[in-house]
Amino acid sequence: MPFRVLKPRRDAPQALPTPPSREQVYNNIEERRLKEWENYQKAHRFMEEAHTNRIFLDIGIGDALAGRLVVELFEDVVPETAARFHRLVTGEGGIHDATGVKLDYLYTPLELIDRQHGYARFGDLLAYGVRLEPLRQETFKVRHTSRGLLTMTSYGPNLCNTSFSITLAAAPSLDFKQVAFGKVVDGLHLLEKLESLPLDQVGRPLTPVMIAICGTLTGERPPGKWASPQDRTGCDEDLAYEAIE
């Protein structure tokens, strides 16, 4: 009797596809950032006033993209703070040596909404074991007098790191404690969605909220391709890394 050839069942599990490498993932992100920059340049090429300090933060709520915040940085008032934020938005900081984490606000969650003091806090890379050299508080010239201001979270005098907040209303309690370094110039309606989210007892949103994609809209053209850590020597001269003990 001849042997019967066994055919695979139709419902047999298929081999999982090979996940993309880190370089492939980063290249896709950099291509998206380049496309967003190009689209903004085309749409605003006839602007009377040339802007060189605008970035974008696309916010995702749950599985959906909720909207975009366009932010103008106060580079002339707080150049060091604005420069660090810009590097973390564009991913130009490279890879953290001690942890292998990319120095980037991409996919960082909304940590806290403080309705009493009027702000929403993002961007804490300390949760991933990343600690940068503390950033000094340059000046408290810009007060937290309105909605939509970006301010760098401070853990003490001259102890700013990566976490930042967006004011949901005037927040005088942050004056002389945190450095305001930018303002939302488009997308303020998105803050209303954040304010309406249900929270737990400590102010964390019950629905996951994160920065889905971020990058620059003005200034120099983004590279469109992520450079490996070996090609990034010298780009982080003022970012000294320390591993959390």
Assigned domain for 89 exists: yes
**DSSP codes of every residue in 112-168:** EEETTTTEEEE--GGGGTEEEPPBP-----S---STTEEEEEESSTT-EEEEEEEES
Number of domains in the chain: 1
Task: Work out whether the CA dihedral 213, 76, 171, 87 comes out positive or negative.
Answer: positive
Residue 24 lies in a domain: no
Which pLDDT value is given to residue 160?
80
pLDDT at 188: 93
Residue 20 in domain: no
For the range 98-103, what are the long-range contacts, defined as Cβ-Cβ under 8 Å and sequence gap of 24 or more? 98/129, 98/241, 98/242, 98/243, 99/128, 99/129, 99/130, 99/243, 101/125, 101/128, 101/129, 101/130, 102/26, 103/130, 103/132, 103/236, 103/239
Tell me, yes or no, if the pTM score tops 0.85. Answer: no
CATH number at residue 169: 2.40.100.10
Structural domain for 136, as ranges: 51-216
pLDDT in tens, 61-101: 998 899 999 999 999 999 999 999 999 999 887 777 777 77
Structural domain contains residue 22: no
Question: Is residue 227 one of the residues assigned to a domain?
Answer: no
Q: What pLDDT sits at residue 232?
A: 44
Q: Is a pLDDT exceeding 80 seen at residue 11?
A: no
Q: Is residue 231 part of a domain?
A: no
pLDDT band per the 50, 70, 90 thresholds, residue 244: very low
pLDDT value, residue 146: 93
Residue 243: inside a domain: no
What is the Cα–Cα distance from 101 to 147, expressed in whole angstroms?
Answer: 32
Residue 243 has pLDDT above 60, yes or no: no
For residue 131, tell me if it sits in a domain.
Answer: yes
